[in-house]
Structure 1
Amino acid sequence: MKTDVVIVGAGPAGLMLGHLLMQAGIDVVLLERKSADYVLSRIRAGVLEQTTVDVMDQLGLGERMHGEGLAHDGFYLADGDRLIHIDLQGLTGHGVMVYGQTEVTRDLMDAAGSRGLEIVYEAEDVALHDLDSEHPAVTYRAGGETHRLDARFIAGCDGFHGVSRQSVPDAAGKTFERVYPFGWLGILADVPPCNDELIYANHENGFALASMRSRTRSRYYIQVALDDRPENWPEERLWDELDLRLGPEAAARITRGPALEKSIAPLRSFVFEPMRYGSLFLAGDAAHIVPPTGAKGLNLASSDVAYLSRALIAWFKQNDAAGVEAYSSTALARVWKSERFSWTLTNLMHRFPDSGPFGRKMQLAELDYIASSRAAQTTIAENYIGLPL
């Protein structure tokens, strides 16, 4: 079977790219190694930059997002005693949209069938071939049979552990990585949020985050050691710790409830360069990971997809290769700026084992400066809403 583009991975990045290319009349096939139900079961962040909102609107899939999502004009930093408001709308003229990544994925999946977007779920033994040629191919097993897809380009949107990046020869790429010495313990509960905007808190015990999925569903996190386990945190202990770390003002508004989900996620910063090898392009988590502080993961995937879709549409429809040639460098320029912001915010808000009392004082001094400086708040706000494409 032949197609124009094979997309490996049917998470939000792959689905967005598939819809954008199909909208332009380019033939695509998506391959996903997991089931559709499994893809929808993955709980991820839900703060959308305008770039991501624009992609969904461009696809005509933004109705539910605008109806059920929560438009936020700001967020808070906390130092254990006070809340410091970052007025995104007042400082930049823009805000963000709180709408779960699972819901974005659901909207993209639900539209695939009616729009003729072909997705092969539970595709096993996916292998990429002849990437350094103009005639790459992908083989996979489905329904007990081996299949082959010949294409002009392959887009690797299959995440950090996917086959796409692993198919790039070692000599053709370079990895930059920092693994953080802690993780986030998260709890999801059907209780109203404690605040109308997100709170990122720095406390002597460690970081905490108060966020939400809707007006009736809350998502909270605390920083824990990498070797900690969710069972070490019975719900009463976890709620008590959130009260402490988020500070008295937020704690007074916390509604406790049973956990729908509780898990620990490690944190890492990771970039693979370049984001292209021959006829293979990498996008999203296949090329980069950011710590969730600052909510850049899905939004970086969206910006990758925006760049890549424009480049491929120009190549197929206008015989213009400029965007294809520039894709990696263009995407990486934005990736590194987002990595810098996530790294900076992570260092500001978390307790590091080797930072000691001096490091803690430096964090508090920085937060005190941010509280009194419009310039500092503007820098944070510009990065939080997302840098322009």
Structure 2
Amino acid sequence: MSLTPSRLPSLIDWDLAAGTAAKLAPAGPRVSAARMRDTVETLREAADASVAHVHEISRLDAAADLRDSSVLVVDRATWSRANTQSFSVLMQPALDRLVETRGQSLTAATTALGGRLTGVQLGTILSFLSSKVLGQYDPFAALAANTTAPPAGRLLLVAPNVLEVERELHVEPADFRLWVCLHEQTHRVQFAAAPWLRDHMIAQVGRLSESMVDKADTFAARIAEAARSVGSGRLTGATGRNGGEVAPGSGAGVLGIFQDEQEREIFSHLTAVMSLLEGHANVVMDGVNASVVPTVRTIRQRFNARGSQRSGFEKLIRQLLGLDAKMRQYSDGSRFVRGVVDQVGLDGFNRIWDAPEHLPTEQEIHHPADWVERMGLAGSRR
């Protein structure tokens, strides 16, 4: 017997997802309690110290006042739980849409079972990611809290992962921690400079997920195609730079399969936004010199070379999850930011944070001059 939407259990068991991730996450580096406390303390210090550098390099006045967000140094399990909260916010429009359109065909038993299965699947993915992420600015999770206070973002620094990578690279810990914090604090500043950005991204993700829900009847065929793509070594369906298929092995991820024409348009916009955010953070991070991070050149070289040392299994997982595509966002976005700054200066570039209409398209990410022309900045300079 079907139930009314208001009485249905959760369609995704978020607590189970967080618990599964905590159980499956690889063990972190073995260190003494004193060493870990020192890592946590110095990460907090690096996070504080990085704000002034971000302000100087980015020239974004929002860096001067970040009281609406907080900095948390966390372990892998806490990072996973925070991300289940973020996912719950981003997925809520789609889940509401699913209940609205198909609620009468859902039963308490099947919904509960599906929620548990999805929770385990999500937790398994998060367990892998929780050992890879060094830091993350999360503007969404607080929206899941039942509070009347204005929702605040939070910067998460994953202490065991920072410690593990700095050991692996044999770099100076204090320098590496500041270098990481420069990137992550830049994301915090971006959302402070563009307070409309969080709601804009939620709306776009909502549109994408709702569209997928409305076409749920085609999921089986899409999943079958995804399986064939993985088996044949081609991951198609994601748009490339010119709107065509992404080359085999490019890392677009199986998620690229789940896109019709409307979904491609939204996905392209989100890709452009993420490229902007990651590229800008990279440019700021690399804007420091040896007077700020004495061993910055060594850190850059060893960190950039790290990808070639991954195992075949990890490379496969990264491809399936689209992480290699994310890495291209760093490089594509960096080239866009530098290209715009070269043409119109940093103040001209910073107009990008003024309104949603100022965000670049995916085409403009690869052709900065097109964004400059659309913004009416051609010929201007600093």
TM-score with structure 2 length normalisation? 0.28
**Which structure has the highest strand share of the two?**
1
